[in-house]
Structure 1
Amino acid sequence: MGGACSRKRDQRDDEDDFPRGISRRYSKSGSSKWLATAFSRPAIDIQPGTGQCPSLMDLCVRKIREDIDKYSTFSMLPRDISQQIINELVYSGCLTDVSFEGFRDCALQDLHLGECPNVNDSWMDIISSQGLSLLSLDLSGSNVTDNGLIYLKDCTNLQALNFNDCDEISDPGLEHISGLSNLTNLSFRRNGAITSHGMSAFASLVNLIKLDLEKCPGIPGGLVHLQGLTKLQSLNIKWCNCISDADMKPLSGLTNLKCLQISCSKVTDFGITYLKVLHNLSLLNLEGCPVTAACLDSLSALDALLYLNLSRCHLTDEGCEKFSRFGNLKVLNLGFNDITDACLVHLKGLTNLESLNLDSCRIGDEGLVNLTGLKHLKCLELSDTEVGSNGLRHLSGLVKLESINLSFTVVTDSGLRKLSGLSSLKSLNLDARQITDTGLAALTSLTGLMHLDLFGARITDSGTNYLRSFKNLRSLEICSGGLTDAGVKNIKDLSSLTLLNLSQNCNLTDKTLELISGLTGLVSLNVSNSRITNSGLRHLKMLKNLKSLTLEACKVTANDIRKLQLTDLPNLVSVRPE
């Protein structure tokens, strides 16, 4: 959340798909939210005031981290202890090339170095010394080159390798991993140097289960080298813009594929015909591909298909009757297509649907009557549609709904009363100028709400009284401009909040920071375009969990925020102004 009040709804987030998930841990560029390749990372998390007593081991590891300069080697320790020590060093940002030397010959199983600065070829000798013990290695965002990969020849038990954002790895480097036949997971996201020729090195990785080549523009023509990888279950070639119909033919033999992502490619209806033999395919992402409803003939043969993304394709109402064949679908994304209420008629029979995205389609009130039988629906995206208050009556019986997005619709206060019976609702996005305090009052029965976005709604200090009903709120956005410090008094007791966005409320002062100083669970705070000054920053010292702080267009300086970050907020990693 930035300081700007407007949100672009016609601009694609180039790595945002369904279902939603986590963000990238690496900050070279962009973000990855859907089925991101990530390696789990144990971490010690000792927070004061939680009432939980840390274990003796946790305390010892924390002490070693603080005195790391006193130790030259950990090779005499049991492996599980040295593993915990290096995990803590990575997590805390304290691992350096000097301290890394102490882990030579420690027989470590996992090295997740994707968040460590200055990782380069000089680190590879120590990595190699882990030998047959090493099972997973994450070098994302590092400066390791093709030559550095030579050292991996002694780590033949490696099962997972992550080279996302490694700009200096190219085709010659792939040759050095071709002998790692035990690999099951391999990721090379955002690599511009790998070509179709270099992909021949993948042909020997016969145990590969998951391969991620997202945003690798040089790979078209190289998928032919995957034909023998019969164990492959997941293939991500999103945003490889030159992937075409010809590249689909080699995939037809990968009959164990369960997940295939080819969004924003040149694949057409003809290319999809090669996929109809993939009877284990349960997830298919075709977002932004130039396919039409004609491709549904081929896709209807995929009995296992549960997740289908056709967002930003060339769909119209013509041919949409074929959607009636997809009775097993759980997730369907039709956003940003030229479809109308006439298409929704053919979704009536999709009674297993749990998530439906109709973002920016020409859907109106009457079309929603076709959704009344979708009793398992949990997530409904209706933003930027023509839906208004009258249409919401058709949703009142969808008692399993947990998330609904009504931003940039014509829903008003009167329509929100029709949502009052949706007791399972946890996330509500209104994002509309026509919502006022009255509409917020109509929602007070939704006590299970965890995420409430009122961005742009005309909420005043008086209206914030109704927020007291939402004790479970974890994220709250009120960027209307109508709040003062008096209204924030009704927010200060929402102790479950982890995200709070009060930007654009230009009358908020330092008193607001004092009022919210007790919200110690906050991870993200945005109070941009307000009257907050450097003097108010002292009230944030207790927010030890804060990772993101945005105070753009306030009377604060980057230098004072940096001082606060260094002295009191060790977890703060994202700051504006910088």
Structure 2
Amino acid sequence: MKIQALVCLAVITCGLPSLPLSAYAFPQTAVRTIVFPVGRSVGLISFVHQNEDGQFIEDADFCQARGLVRVPAARLVALKVNFNGAEDLSFLDKLGPDDLALIDFNNEGRGFEISDRDFVHLGHLTGLQGLNLDDSEAGPQALRAVGKLSKLVMLGLATTLIKDDDLVELEGLKKLRFLQLNYNHLSDAGLAHLQGLLELRRFEARRCGLTGAGMKNLINARHLETLLLSDNKIGDFGLTVLPPLPELTYIDIGGTASGDRTLISLSRDLKLGTIMASYGHYSRTGLSAVAKLPNLSQLSIEGYPIAATDVAALRGALKLKSVILTIEPPAVAAAQKLLPGISLVLKDARKERKQQFIEVLK
């Protein structure tokens, strides 16, 4: 019923001239007005809320971002920028600092070819709590504008043009809980600028050129709940420099050359429920360590074949429901017998070796 009422308000108000509040739905609800270009829609307005790790969850689409848009004063308002908006970001200059809680330039994962210099229009929107610049040409000028947005809780910078030195602009964003840096040309030097982000709950840095030495820069992120570091050169010692992460529930270290020492380090993080650790070299030693985690429910160790006798070390995992692993065909029956009641996704080691050979040829 609430969503229907919001849609009704959208139909009456979006893009129309100013009218007395009594002319609209929700006459007893305080409203505010956001000014967008009259002749074109620059995107879609929706209402959102935030979860604890800083992600925005959409509650309901509201209307097109065109003309005068009246919204309930207490709601968090998001703008999904469309092609018209992306072509000319000067419309942002007419927005008030607190008009929007979130701006999303991601275009449903396709991104826009917005040049770095165009993002300077963001600098005065100091009330923004979320900003998604994924798949754009954001670089040093964009980051200088972003650095002024001290209320940001969520920031998406995946697949952009940012470099290590640009990340210095993030040092003042002390409220950040969700930071996404996937698929950028970075290094451990860039990660050093994140040491002061003490409120991080979710950190994503897949395939960013990081090594094990850079992990020390996360030493202060004691509230991390989700950590995605796949396809970096972290090695088997990288995570050993981190202290126990008491809130960590999900980690992806696939393709990081991890091994038993990594699993032993993770065994200290008692809330861990999911470990994605494909293409590592593991034995009974490491698997015995993570089997003691009281909340472990999903484990992925596919990639390199593992012996059935090593798999047996997981029998003590009390809540384990799913294991993805690569095993030699003759050992399949033994693995299934050793772990009754656990869903096993078994990858054929022969096919894995063939695929790895094909990848090398490429």
> Under a length normalisation based on structure 2, what TM-score does the superposition of the two structures give?
0.73
Map Cα deviations across residues 47-70 of structure 1 (whole Å, 9 max, x no partner): xxxxxxxxxxxxxxxxxxxxxxxx
Instruction: Say whether the 8 Å CA contact 2:203–2:228 is kept in structure 1.
Output: yes
Do 1:316 and 1:338's aligned partners in 2 also have CA atoms closer than 8 Å?
Answer: yes
CA separation of 1:377 and 1:293: change in aligned 2, threshold 3 A: farther
Within the candidate set 71, 88, 110, 1:246 is matched to 88
Deviations 1:111-155 (Å, cap 9, x if unpaired)?
xxxxxxxxxxxxxxxxxxxxxxxx65xxxxxxxxxxxxxxxxxxx
Structure 1 unaligned runs (5+)?
A: 1-108, 110-134, 137-156, 162-173, 184-195, 204-208, 214-221, 495-499, 508-527, 530-578
Larger RCO, structures 1/2 (Cα 8 Å, 6+ apart): 2
2:261 matches 1:414? yes
* Inter-partner Cα distance in structure 2 for 1:503 and 1:197: 57
Deviation of 1:335 after TM superposition, in Å, equals 1.0
Q: CA deviation at 1:470?
A: 2.1
Aligned to 1:484: 332
Q: How does 1:320-469 map to 2 (within 5 A)?
A: 320-469=167-316
Aligned residue identity for 2:159: R
Identical amino acids, percent of aligned pairs? 21
Q: CA deviation at 1:304?
A: 1.9
CA deviations over 1:488-537 (Å, ceiling 9, x no partner): 1233234xxxxx45243489xxxxxxxxxxxxxxxxxxxx99xxxxxxxx
1:257 pairs, out of 79, 100, 103, with: 100
What is the aligned partner in structure 2 of residue 228 from structure 1? 69
1 CA distance for matches of 2:224 and 2:149? 22
Q: Name the aligned partner's letter for residue 502 of structure 1.
A: V
Please say if residues 437 and 458 of structure 1, whose CA atoms lie closer than 8 Å, have aligned partners that are also in contact. no
**Mapped contact 2:189–2:214 kept (Cα < 8 A):** yes
Kept after mapping to 2: 8 A contact 1:435/1:458: no
Describe the superposition over 1:397-442 as per-residue Cα deviations: whole angstroms up to 9, x where unpaired.
3333222111011112233222221222221110115234443223
Change beyond 3 A, Cα 1:435–1:226? farther
Q: Counterparts in 2 of 1:18-37, with a 5 A limit?
A: none
Over 3 Å counting, the alpha-carbon distance change for 1:501 and 1:159 in structure 2 is farther
Root mean square deviation, CA, Å = 3.6
Evaluate the alpha carbon distance shift between residue 458 and residue 414 of structure 1 in structure 2; reply closer, same or farther with a 3 A threshold: farther
Q: What is the aligned residue count?
A: 311
Inter-CA distance 319–504: structure 2 relative to 1 (3 Å threshold): closer
Q: After superposition, what is the alpha-carbon deviation per residue over 1:290-325, rounded to whole angstroms, capped at 9, x for unaligned?
A: 011332222222232101010111011132222211
Q: Distance in 2 between matches of 1:488 and 1:230?
A: 57
SS across alignment from 2:123: helix
- Pairwise CA distance, 1:266: 2.6
1:390 CA drift (Å): 1.6
Larger Rg: 1
Using a 3 Å threshold, how does the CA distance of structure 1 residues 302 and 423 change in structure 2: closer, same or farther? same
1:253 to 1:236, Cα distance in 2 relative to 1, 3 A: closer
Distance 2:120 2:198 in 1: 26
Cα 1:210–1:236 change in 2 (3 A) is farther
SS at structure 2 position matched to 1:385: coil
Provide the C-alpha distance between the structure 2 equivalents of 1:341 and 1:310, rounded to a whole number of angstroms.
Answer: 17
Q: Structure 2: which 5+ residue stretches go unaligned?
A: 17-22, 27-37, 46-58, 353-362
- Quick check: 2:39–2:67 contact (8 Å CA) kept in 1? no
Q: Which residue of 1 aligns with 2:130?
A: 283
Q: Secondary structure at the match of 1:373?
A: coil
Counterpart of 1:415 in 2: which secondary structure?
Answer: helix
